A and B are shown apart, each in its own frame.
Chain A
Amino acid sequence: MSGTVRLLTCDEVRELAGGFVLGALEADEADAVRAHLAGCADPHAEIADLASGLPALWETVPIVEPSAALRSRLLAAAAADLPASQERTTTPLRTAGRERTTTPLRMATPTTDPANVRPFVRPPRRRMTLGWVAGLAAVLAIALLGAWNVVLQGQVGTLRTEQDSVAAVIHAGGIAGSVTAMLTAPEASGPYGPTGLAAVTRTGTLVLAMRDLRPTTGAQVYQAWVILPGSAPVPTGSFGVGDAGVGSIPSASAPVGPGAVVAITLEPGPGATTPTLPILSSGTTATPVN
């Protein structure tokens, strides 16, 4: 945040309320509104009033599941700073310390770093050694079952994700004025190259579903490009791919025009402005035939 925050009057805050609710103010304006609200006797109910329509926007969002790996990453990161979080002493929501003895047995995925788990597997000090060994065995067994469960969840999640992304393309392609494309790999890459479906709506939203892609590693991403005849390729969203080989772009801003080509490349990282050849899969958009 900047050091100097503009002072606003209540009327100015009311005028900025819509943009503030939408997150569409310039950074200094948003800072100024926050500063005003923090010190103003007027509760500025108009802001909450305007915000009460936001749930309608949330419900227009296509539902997509995150990867199963995200849970593991989050819990590992949270466990890693647990000692710090346990030092919190004055939180309004804090409850009795008894709850802090919750064991890690609900963790579906064992963290790779034993240090991350340590705060949770502390047994009661009076427990006998035999009991400790049995407890450790139980933790290991549960961890193994948990890992297996994660694998199964991942497979089901992949199927659902692919189904959802294809459904999203079909939905977008069915909107009046949309164009669609079947993406196929160049012949040189053989019969098993990546393929996909894309739709670009009249107002320039690309929706894409791909399969048979090689998993990305490191910062790699698959980048979609929309190429209008005679124009430079425009980057229109990117995605990573796991072992399942599927990937999608649920919504990205794309240029609109006749004969647009949708193409996929593999880039070393996000934010590419020119494609790294070769093109792995591409297709020319056309109005769907009814």
Chain B
Amino acid sequence: MEPTALPRVPTESVSGPADDADRAVLARVASGDLAALEELYDRYRTMAYSLALRITADPAAAEDVVQDAFLGVWRNVARYAEGRGSVRTWFLSIVHHRAIDAIRRRRPVTELPDPEAGPSPAALRLPDVWSEVAGRLDAVAIRRAMTSLTDVQREAIELGYFGGLTQVEIAERTGAPLGTVKSRVRLGLLALRDALSAEVLPDSPARSQRAGGAA
């Protein structure tokens, strides 16, 4: 499967300000400062909208997703917990969940649970790879990361992450057994992680800890 997108690196999303600055803006959002919300919007509107549009393929739906995500932050900013990853990762995970929810409702399938509801899952405790990546990865590095996947891994990951399909649906779509799909997803994510880590943290201790086993 060829890349379905133009690997371009927007200044706004990659070489943006450090996460400390993001947290400072978020603190002002928490205090009800509308100007801070606008600042957050200016930082992430392009990445958020692009991600939502990639998933929904519908500009009107994508704008609704982005608006809901920012309003979710405005209303529930307390759910962001420092030390649980970057603001960017947290926010884009909200955008992703809402966009997937939107297309699943369109199909229709059962709704995805609200990612902001309840205690923050460990999924949001992401390592701050992104801020490490910021300003360092270029289009070539991204291509390299994507080409580190096999075709079937990339297909499974794109169908899941951008297509909103569950692993069961990916298995039905591709004709592969469910166990094989799970394995492709896991190994694909590990390959992306390795490619980014190799780019960012060549001597990362995490690399030596990696178990090579498939799911």
Contact = CB atoms under 8 A, between A and B. Distances in A.
Interface residues of B, number: 109
Chain B, interface SS category: helix
A169 B52 CA distance: 19
A71 B48 CA distance: 13
A260 to B, nearest CB: 17
A18 B189 CA distance: 7
Contact of B74 (A78, A102, A270): A78
Contact of A23 (B89, B145, B160, B193): B160
A252 B59 CA distance: 12
Interface in A71-115: 71, 73-75, 77-79, 81-82, 84-86, 88, 90-97, 99-100, 102, 104, 106-108
B6 A167 contact: yes
Contacts, number: 306
B28 to A, nearest CB: 6
Nearest to A171: B6
A47 interface: yes
B1 A203 contact: yes
Interface stretch (A62-70, A179-187, A274-282): A62-70
Given A26-B168, A33-B121, A55 B196 contact: yes
Contacts of B60: 221, 238-240, 270
B81 to A, nearest CB: 7
Given A15-B215, A75-B38, A91-B77, A25 B166 contact: yes
19 contacts: A22-B185, A23-B96, A24-B185, A33-B121, A34-B113, A44-B122, A55-B130, A56-B145, A56-B146, A61-B47, A63-B46, A64-B46, A70-B67, A73-B67, A81-B74, A92-B78, A92-B82, A93-B29, A270-B60
Given A49-B206, A60-B142, A175-B3, 19 more contacts: A1-B117, A17-B186, A19-B182, A48-B85, A51-B89, A52-B197, A56-B146, A57-B162, A61-B47, A61-B54, A66-B49, A71-B38, A73-B63, A74-B37, A81-B74, A93-B27, A102-B28, A102-B35, A238-B60
